[in-house]
Copies of this chain bind each other. A is one copy, B any other.
Amino acid sequence: MRADQTDVLKRLSYIEGHLNGVRKMIEADQYCVDVLRQTYAVRKAIEKMEALILEQHLHTCVPEGIKEGREDAVINELMQLYNLAGNR
């Protein structure tokens, strides 16, 4: 397992734990505003994990693809990700 994959999985474990906390709050019928504050934090943690994955992708697959002549495919994929990331 690569070092960066370990880092991604560590963040994922944190997110799973956080989401489990959200479940307990909902089951205990806690104040909805407090639940929402936690779900926003979970989304933010997912976004940080995504940034890490994207950064790896940009440093490995993208330059490889461009050097191998698959430039259009690589760029189109990046634009798709960008639009998906922003709900666009």
Contact = CB atoms under 8 A, between A and B. Distances in A.
A19 B22 CA distance: 14
A5 B29 contact: yes
A87 B54 contact: no
Nearest to A37: B84
Interface residues of A, number: 54
B79 A50 contact: no
A88 B87 contact: yes
Interface of A: 5, 8-9, 12, 15-16, 19, 22-23, 26-27, 29, 31-33, 35-37, 39-40, 42-44, 46-51, 53-59, 61-63, 66-67, 71, 75, 77-79, 81-88
Given A9-B27, A39-B50, 12 more contacts: A16-B16, A16-B19, A16-B23, A33-B61, A33-B81, A36-B50, A36-B85, A37-B81, A48-B88, A51-B88, A58-B78, A87-B88
